[in-house]
Structure 1
Amino acid sequence: MAYLTKKIRETILCFLITVSTYNLFAQSLEILDTASYPQRMKWWNEARFGMFIHWGLYSQIGYNEWAMEIFSIPYSEYYSFRDRFNPQRFNAAEWVQLASEAGMKYMVVTTKHHDGFCMFDSDHTSFDIMSTPYRNDPVAALSAECNKQGIKFGAYYSMLDWHHPNYSPVRSYWDTTERKRSPDSAKYFSYLSAQISEIQKKYHPAIFWFDWQKDMKNKQLMMTLWQQMMIENPQLIINNRLHASGKPGDYLTPENWIPIHGYKDNNGNNISFEVCYTIDRTSWGYNPYSRYFLSTRDIIRTLCEVASKGGNLLLNIGPKPDGSIQDEFKIRLTETGQWLKKYGESIYGTSASVLAPLPFYGRSTTKNNIVYLQVFNMPKDSIIRFPRLKNTITAIRLTDQPAQPLNWRLKANEVVITMPAGYYDPNCFVLSVETDGAPISLHSGIYFPAADTIRLPVTLCLPSKQNKPIEQGYKINYIELSAKDTLFYSFKTESAGLYKSVIQYSFNQPEKTIQAQITFNGEPVHKKISVPNRRSYVETTVSNVLLSKGENTISVTLPELDDKVIFKFEGLILIPYKN
């Protein structure tokens, strides 16, 4: 342990808050059973919110689930952790109850992570939970408890395996002197298939959540596995990490980032997706050193953001090695559940927004004949404005206090709502806009009805690479740009006007000056920009710009940016010059 303790100390001393992410950029989905798909996915598409759990031997190390590789821990030392794994405080009923109180509708549990250790009683390996002093099966307990409390149970399974002698390619580069192997891929596939069948028959998961499929390049074998799974459970839902292409599956799985506009097929129909996010922004597994957690407000607004694009949020916690769950998770999840008791109808069973997110600062979802406005910040004048619908509005109400309709009026191409004095929720409050039919937006794209400050965050842009992810920094969303990238904005304004344009950004080389080219309605403007230090987000005035009534376009590019510069683009602000 002295070796490991020294490595942890060395790493913690130089630790900068990061999250290792594996982003999947699939733009299409190969649904393998189209006949049963709508019926199988119905509950999943209505659920919108689930719990992800990363728990294993790595929880004892207290860094993250990749600790074995990160710290180059020798096999003999890492596998000795099973001799000390005895989570006497584990209580399946309490875990599932916490998920239920948080408003989560399903739970996905790590049955085997990359280290190859099985958190369940497996007939196909001795490297499992039954070889520990604990000698109980937590996966069995959680599956039974989920069934009892009405939560759907899901099984996570990593196809990467640092322990199995037949896994290929060999990844034990940190311990080649101790262990040399000649892997047999056919034997590993046999082991993999047997364990997956075992999990299905013993624990009856509603979801199978595969991970690290990048080495699984034999599509025929993977399709054979899929057929086996669907025969065993015709109602099973499988994510898109079954094969290296990231395409076969029932839904897409962006990790630790939210797709800018959701996903759509070639016909413009929404593709099911699930964003997996972790509350501890430094780790998926337990990390006692972390001080960087999503706040309750972050969780609620992230849930609104994902639901507004037609997706689910799978929110992760990393329990302690003793089986308990730390207060930072419990408090945030309980508070999120309290919010959902008031406003959950704007999340569960909803479809993607028919509106652009602006001009009200928030998000929007749709269900039946209702548009839900999820408002993050109350405007200074307590007036909520949003683009007019094609439908007739029959009433607008506070979602948590529906008895008394709100006062509202139509003004040109916008709806204007007068909010009652003193009403506010600092996390997010929700309004229900009731219409005479399925809501249809009057305006396509983003529409700004009033001559007010126009904020164009990165979440509203159309990147030249549609799959380029939005990253989340501390309270900041951004896209990393290269010289090859161009970002586009397209929006409508009610009237023409003169605006001051401001660019928001940061980059890692304060000694440099960068040339930005921003094109407003076809007119390019060149601006040299810089930063005072590598940690600052900067707002720099670009130029005055005349916006047209109706359609406006803006593009952003950095044509001379070199590869050593990490440029993070946050957005644009257009501030009107008022008469």
Structure 2
Amino acid sequence: MNCLNIQYNFIVKSVIRKLKKAPFVFIVSLVLLSACNSEKKKNSSEFINTAAKKVYENNWESLKTHKTPSWFTNGKFGIYFHWGVYSVPAYKTEWYPRLMYLDNFEGWGDDVRPYHIAKYGEDFQYHEFIPDFTAEHFNAEEWALLFKKSGAQYAGPVAEHSDGFSMWNSKVNKWNAFNMGPKRDIVGELEKAIKAEGMKFVTTFHHQFHWGWYPSWNGLVDVSSKDLLDFYGEVVPEETFKQATKNLEKYGPSEAFTHKWKAKVLEVINNYNPDFVWFDSKLDIIPEKDRIELVEYFYNTSAKNNKEVVLSYKGDDLPKDVGVLDIEAGRLNELVNYHWLTDTPFCHGNSAWSYVEGKESKGGNMNIDALIDIVSKNGCLLLNIGPKADGTIPEEIKTGLLEMGKWLEEYGEVVYGSKPFITYGEGPTKLKKNRFGGFNDLKEGYCDEDFRFTTKDDNLYLIQLDVPKYEKKYVLRSFGSNEIAGDKKIESIQLMGSNQEVSWYQNEKGLYIVGVKEVPNKIAIVYKIKLAK
């Protein structure tokens, strides 16, 4: 599907609202059809460096042989951030650009268009927010230092979200942060600052969602010029956004869209050398040959440069083992023998990943608990934050990140470079399944009877996810005679961060630990256990 497929009924819908103010718009729209027909597509292959060293072949089986680097599996914790033009309205969600155009819509987000009309007016278009995306207080070095102090080992921006606005100096897409809005190469500044702090650089891509993202079919989206059509995308049937993954033959992206989609990713790989390329879901609407070519290029280019890289995907968007599986806004509920990732927001709820007014922070405590739970199950955490449009990070998020960093500075050995025990832990608090194939984050947090295990070198770490009650007896039944760790005999237990002696004993029912009088911290209590050899 391409520009030639624009229906005449769309043209009538799109321009009839503007005829009173601009009667020539209809003529302009007809000219656009001709322009789209004659315009040559920019082939993404021109961004591919054919001199790249060939380590991986152009097939999934070869790409499955790529090994996940130890900097990722040992690093465990990273940060990324939803920040863009959608941060300007700061209402409800980063899906605001789509929802603001859905008229007579019922369901989640149905309050966005009424809010938009009341505050900005019925004819105010999304691209008109761009001048207010100023980023005047954005300082890449300050952000990178904050991430470093939080304990993150890798960090980076959403390079492009679903709205079609690129956050780098792009030659592929003129709708970018270097040309307009901040008029700065956001990705470029962050690459330098994050790498300067010794962290690995992450870029995330969500722009496969751009196919059918804007409901241009309903006549509310202004595509009355070639430039705006370039930004808002090809006009497609109403069902496209929801049906593309179910019926690619009928609703899948056009060749022109696919070329441009791929060219954007290749441009970032070539110009900013990310260590970690992360993809949102819906990657499976991109033709298989293009996904293979892109992954092959990233892996081979990195091999040529002796660079160890990570690529992640969601669901079944790529074959298993081609990259790292990412579970959105949730976790696994069991220990697995492969490395996995979760991306989750710093603040409560999964409806808004960008900054919205009134969003409540989880704080450092809940996010540390989540990190420990994830690591105990062989996973890694990519934690999302939402900066404001002016380039400031909300104070409550800064405070929470620094709380995490303080805890990790003291107890980081239980996280960094650690490996799972034979069981992830014990406790009454259970996670509930979510729609992304994992289990939801907790709303209330863990209790003092929730424990997790990690190991490093010859040490076993027992982490208590809430403050123990003084003289309360806690039992770890995994160490019972007939349980999974029943053959493990304990030699000593040390309370990290304290000189207090820990009262404990082990019998056929398990390992018993008595709550200490004074705790060294109020986030998560760590016991270092020596096992008898």
TM-score (norm 1): 0.63
Query: How far apart are the structure 2 equivalents of 1:188 and 1:242?
Result: 22
Residue in structure 2 matching 1:363, options 442, 447, 452: 452
Alpha carbons 2:414, 2:461 under 8 Å: kept: yes
Q: Specify the code of the residue in structure 2 equivalent to 1:57.
A: V
Cα displacement (A) at 1:31: 7.7
Cα displacement (A) at 1:370: 1.8
Q: Specify the code of the residue in structure 2 equivalent to 1:58.
A: Y
Structure 1 residues 127 and 245 mapped into 2: Cα distance closer, same or farther (>3 Å)? same
Q: Over residues 334-354 of structure 1, what are the superposed CA-to-partner deviations in whole Å (9 max), with x where a residue is unaligned?
A: 111111112111111122242
Residue in structure 2 matching 1:172, options 213, 216, 234: 216
Identity, in percent, stands at 23
The aligned runs of 1:266-345 (5 Å cut-off) are 270-282=337-349, 283-290=352-359, 292-345=360-413
Q: Is 1:218 the equivalent of 2:287?
A: yes
Query: How far apart are the structure 2 equivalents of 1:249 and 1:325?
Result: 35
Q: Is 1:116 the equivalent of 2:159?
A: no
Query: Which residue of structure 1 lines up, in the alignment, with residue 332 of structure 2?
Result: 259
Residue in structure 2 matching 1:422, options 511, 518, 526: 518
Query: Which residue of structure 2 lines up, in the alignment, with residue 51 of structure 1?
Result: 79
Structure 1 residues 230 and 341 mapped into 2: Cα distance closer, same or farther (>3 Å)? same
Structure 1 residues 351 and 177 mapped into 2: Cα distance closer, same or farther (>3 Å)? closer
Cα displacement (A) at 1:429: 0.6
Structure 1 residues 177 and 157 mapped into 2: Cα distance closer, same or farther (>3 Å)? closer
Query: How far apart are the structure 1 equivalents of 2:361 and 2:510?
Result: 38
Alpha carbons 1:285, 1:317 under 8 Å: kept: yes
Structure 1 residues 70 and 170 mapped into 2: Cα distance closer, same or farther (>3 Å)? closer
Query: How far apart are the structure 2 equivalents of 1:49 and 1:337?
Result: 11
Q: Secondary structure at the match of 1:254?
A: strand
Cα displacement (A) at 1:419: 4.8
Q: Is 1:33 the equivalent of 2:63?
A: yes
Structure 1 residues 83 and 145 mapped into 2: Cα distance closer, same or farther (>3 Å)? same
Structure 1 residues 34 and 435 mapped into 2: Cα distance closer, same or farther (>3 Å)? farther
Query: How far apart are the structure 1 equivalents of 2:319 and 2:386?
Result: 26
Query: How far apart are the structure 1 equivalents of 2:519 and 2:124?
Result: 60
Structure 1 residues 243 and 47 mapped into 2: Cα distance closer, same or farther (>3 Å)? same
Q: Specify the code of the residue in structure 2 equivalent to 1:46.
A: N
Residue in structure 2 matching 1:188, options 253, 257, 260: 257
Residue in structure 1 matching 2:201, options 146, 149, 153: 153
Q: Over residues 450-508 of structure 1, what are the superposed CA-to-partner deviations in whole Å (9 max), with x where a residue is unaligned?
A: xxxxxxxxxxxxxxxxxxxxxxxxxxxxxxxxxxxxxxxxxxxxxxxxxxxxxxxxxxx
The aligned runs of 1:103-142 (5 Å cut-off) are 103-142=151-190
Structure 1 residues 254 and 246 mapped into 2: Cα distance closer, same or farther (>3 Å)? farther
Query: Which residue of structure 1 lines up, in the alignment, with residue 531 of structure 2?
Result: 435
Query: Which residue of structure 1 lines up, in the alignment, with residue 473 of structure 2?
Result: 383
Q: Specify the code of the residue in structure 2 equivalent to 1:151.
A: M
Cα displacement (A) at 1:293: 2.1
Query: How far apart are the structure 2 equivalents of 1:147 and 1:422?
Result: 40
Alpha carbons 2:364, 2:402 under 8 Å: kept: no
Residue in structure 2 matching 1:228, options 297, 301, 308: 297
Q: Secondary structure at the match of 1:321?
A: coil
Alpha carbons 2:156, 2:191 under 8 Å: kept: no
Structure 1 residues 342 and 174 mapped into 2: Cα distance closer, same or farther (>3 Å)? farther
Cα displacement (A) at 1:281: 2.4
Structure 1 residues 243 and 157 mapped into 2: Cα distance closer, same or farther (>3 Å)? farther
Q: Is 1:198 the equivalent of 2:267?
A: yes
Alpha carbons 2:376, 2:424 under 8 Å: kept: no
Q: Specify the code of the residue in structure 1 equivalent to 2:175.
A: F
Q: Specify the code of the residue in structure 1 equivalent to 2:63.
A: D
Cα displacement (A) at 1:170: 7.3
Structure 1 residues 323 and 252 mapped into 2: Cα distance closer, same or farther (>3 Å)? same
Q: Over residues 491-537 of structure 1, what are the superposed CA-to-partner deviations in whole Å (9 max), with x where a residue is unaligned?
A: xxxxxxxxxxxxxxxxxxxxxxxxxxxxxxxxxxxxxxxxxxxxxxx
Q: Secondary structure at the match of 2:326?
A: coil
Cα displacement (A) at 1:159: 3.1
Alpha carbons 1:219, 1:243 under 8 Å: kept: no
Structure 1 residues 248 and 410 mapped into 2: Cα distance closer, same or farther (>3 Å)? closer
Structure 1 residues 223 and 312 mapped into 2: Cα distance closer, same or farther (>3 Å)? same
Question: Which residues of structure 2 form unaligned runs of 5+?
Answer: 1-59, 102-112, 114-121, 224-228, 237-252, 428-448, 480-484
Alpha carbons 1:361, 1:377 under 8 Å: kept: no
Structure with the bigger RCO (C-alpha within 8 Å, sep 6+) is: 2
Cα displacement (A) at 1:127: 0.3
Q: Over residues 416-461 of structure 1, what are the superposed CA-to-partner deviations in whole Å (9 max), with x where a residue is unaligned?
A: 3345432353321110111246xxxxxxxxxxxxxxxxxxxxxxxx
Structure 1 residues 379 and 173 mapped into 2: Cα distance closer, same or farther (>3 Å)? farther
Q: Specify the code of the residue in structure 1 equivalent to 2:419.
A: S
Alpha carbons 1:256, 1:277 under 8 Å: kept: yes
Query: How far apart are the structure 2 equivalents of 1:31 and 1:363?
Result: 36
Q: Specify the code of the residue in structure 2 equivalent to 1:408.
A: W
Cα displacement (A) at 1:160: 2.4
Q: Specify the code of the residue in structure 2 equivalent to 1:172.
A: S
Cα displacement (A) at 1:222: 1.1
Alpha carbons 1:216, 1:243 under 8 Å: kept: no
Name the Cα RMSD after superposition: 2.7
Query: Which residue of structure 2 lines up, in the alignment, with residue 572 of structure 1?
Result: none
Instruction: Return the structure number with greater strand share.
Output: 1
Query: How far apart are the structure 1 equivalents of 2:221 and 2:198?
Result: 49
TM-score (norm 2): 0.68
Query: How far apart are the structure 1 equivalents of 2:204 and 2:123?
Result: 23
Q: Over residues 234-273 of structure 1, what are the superposed CA-to-partner deviations in whole Å (9 max), with x where a residue is unaligned?
A: 33211024974674642111111122114x4xxxxx1211
Query: How far apart are the structure 2 equivalents of 1:173 and 1:313?
Result: 39
Residue in structure 1 matching 2:98, options 69, 77, 82: 69
Query: Which residue of structure 2 lines up, in the alignment, with residue 267 of structure 1?
Result: none
Alpha carbons 1:48, 1:347 under 8 Å: kept: yes
Q: Secondary structure at the match of 2:343?
A: strand
Q: Over residues 266-296 of structure 1, what are the superposed CA-to-partner deviations in whole Å (9 max), with x where a residue is unaligned?
A: xxxx121111111222411111232x22132
Q: Specify the code of the residue in structure 2 equivalent to 1:330.
A: K
Q: Specify the code of the residue in structure 2 equivalent to 1:83.
A: P
The aligned runs of 1:394-413 (5 Å cut-off) are 394-401=491-498, 406-413=502-509
Q: Specify the code of the residue in structure 2 equivalent to 1:258.
A: R
Matched residue count: 394
Query: How far apart are the structure 1 equivalents of 2:220 and 2:69?
Result: 45
Alpha carbons 1:217, 1:243 under 8 Å: kept: no
Q: Secondary structure at the match of 1:129?
A: coil
Alpha carbons 2:280, 2:313 under 8 Å: kept: no
Q: Specify the code of the residue in structure 1 equivalent to 2:347.
A: D
Cα displacement (A) at 1:193: 2.3
Query: How far apart are the structure 1 equivalents of 2:516 and 2:467?
Result: 15
Q: Secondary structure at the match of 2:129?
A: helix
The aligned runs of 1:552-571 (5 Å cut-off) are none
Alpha carbons 1:154, 1:208 under 8 Å: kept: yes
Query: How far apart are the structure 2 equivalents of 1:151 and 1:248?
Result: 25
